[in-house]
Amino acid sequence: MIKFFTRIGLIIAVFALTLISPALTFGQVVADHDHHHCGYDPGPEEIERLETNLRMAENLEFRRSGNTIYVPIKFHSINRLDGTGGVREPDIINQMCILNEAFGRYNIQFFMKDRSINYINNNAAFNNASLATAILSGARDNRALNVFFAQNTTSGGGGGFTLGYYDPSNDWVVVRNDRVNSTFVLAHEIGHFFSLQHTFFGWEQEPWDEDIHGNPVMQVIAPGGFNQVELVDGSNCTSAADRICDTPPDYNFGFGWSAGGGCGPFNIEVYDRNEDLIEPMQNNYMGYFLNCPDYEFTPTQVDVMVADFMSSSRSHLREGFGTPSTGVIDAGEIVALNPTDGEESDFHDEVTLVWEAAENATYYYLEVSELPFFGLNMMVEKFVDGTSYTLTDLDELEFYYWRVRPLNDTYYCADRSPTFSFITSDVGVSVNEISESEFSMRLHQNPVPSGTDPSVIINNEYGVQNVRMEVFSVDGKMLMSSEKNIPMGPHQRIHLHTGVLDAGMYYIRMASDKMQRVEPFIVH
């Protein structure tokens, strides 16, 4: 037999994994001394709730129907007092994509309640959410599964740091900021939210060690002091460990297991007191093996979660929401309608962005920046209902860049749209006093053949206009500017006299003190 970690070796291994592995993704604590604690600390009421749900699951017609359940979730981003340091909307969107892909196979889907994220700016809660219960209570949404992201957390069971935990007394989940977008942490804690226990329940603070527990493991009660040690033959599966019979025994073998990055084959022969070989389910969401390529819940675990959702204590999650929007979304369908990509806006102090709707999208996440690579200089980061958004007070003759990410209530995995750009004009919104029917402009030819002097056709029903005519390249460089008097009358052709233009895209702007018109054209 291969000897398992000694207790000191166990802690060293886990500490090393904490330093090198970004996917140490379970609700556990790496302790300062000789043991660790799980962030979730269940009491007798939680075991009673689990057992009630197990009885209810035996007659759960809803599960047999194959219908999907929809769970409202409210995310809270805890920041420093100055509003910095917390997770942002793109992080949450990605987390929702991961979460719904993980639970979709079990006909469980989550949707963001109110299509929004709550921001809490408080230094005490940011530094340690578990010591700021009053602040979290004030933000809690009573009609959702509440998930708080914080910089630091501690467990209810000892020192070190906690990656995530479910708090039964307040019925909320807390996750460290650096575990957002984990494939495991939030799913694990949601399992606790829906009454699931660890597969190794009772072994949290003292994982199996051959020097301590022997091999075969002869003890009847797990180190936690009240749970039976589960047997391979299933004879005590309803009263031992997690009380679930399709999860095999696990004596917290995953804690400190380093083979294969944390989920390599468990090749140690450990036997129970019947001398049956224990083969833990390493990729179970409620275990502690790390970096498994595809975690799973067992059928009974899923039935328990659904039973908990359907219980009277969870009615606040079911009633009054209607059916959330669904369907796969392709962001590649989105094009900019106004201003079109690279076009000059009509005004600088009021620019309405309009884009073509993506199929199945019911809202969007809009990002606007002064730089094409976006980043920390974002001007707008906002969830938007519909397919338009109005920007105000932009600088004159400046380039701006924007993109949207299409969403619906259950699909968060679409890519962002292409990045679109526009240049603002130097005209304010109050200038456009003349309607299009009174004064309009179009290119005589568009595209314009190379070597041809561009010309425009003007219909002027307003009266004599003294206008300034300008031609710009797509990067905003002015190539021509002249003043012209436009007499009243229809179908007037005016040559621009730009000289020879290289092939490419250009803009012509015609402006007076009462109106502005902009048209793009192409030379080829």
Q: Which fold has domain 439-523?
A: Immunoglobulin-like (2.60.40)
pLDDT given at position 309: 96
Report pLDDT digits (tens) over 204-253.
889 999 999 999 999 999 998 889 999 999 999 999 999 999 999 999 99
CA pair distance 505, 495, nearest whole angstrom: 18
Beta pairing, strands 108-112 & 69-79: parallel
Beta pairing, strands 69-79 & 172-176: unpaired
pLDDT score of 2 more than 50: no
CA pair distance 205, 264, nearest whole angstrom: 23
Report pLDDT digits (tens) over 127-146.
989 899 999 999 999 999 99
Beta pairing, strands 172-176 & 145-150: parallel
Radius of gyration for the chain, computed over Cα atoms and rounded to the nearest angstrom: 31
Say which residues have a Cβ less than 8 Å from residue 35's Cβ, sequence separation at least 6: 7, 11, 158, 205, 206
Q: Give me the residue label for tokens 């809660």.
A: 125
- Nearest Cα residue to 484 out of 471, 473, 503: 471
Q: Which two tokens stand for residue 377?
A: 């200089």
Report pLDDT digits (tens) over 355-380.
999 999 999 999 999 999 898 779 99
Mean predicted lDDT score pLDDT of the chain: 87
Confirm if 301 and 196 have CB atoms less than 8 A apart.
yes
- Range of 52-66, 82-96, 456-470 with top mean pLDDT: 82-96
Confirm if 53 and 308 have CB atoms less than 8 A apart.
yes
Q: Give me the residue label for tokens 């799980």.
A: 38
What angle (nearest 5°) sits at the alpha carbon of residue 148, between those of residues 142 and 154?
Answer: 120
Q: Which two tokens stand for residue 40?
A: 């979730």
Q: Which fold has domain 336-424?
A: Immunoglobulin-like (2.60.40)
pTM to 2 decimals?
0.76
Does 439-523 match 44-194 at the fold level? Answer: no
Percentage of the chain lying above the pLDDT 70 cut: 90
Burial of 500 (0-12, 13-18, 19+ CB in 10 A): exposed
- Nearest Cα residue to 76 out of 110, 108, 24, 112: 112
CA pair distance 348, 337, nearest whole angstrom: 17
Yes or no: is domain 44-194 CATH 3.40.390.10?
Answer: yes
Q: Give me the residue label for tokens 């006909």.
A: 107
Domain ranges of the chain: 44-194, 336-424, 439-523
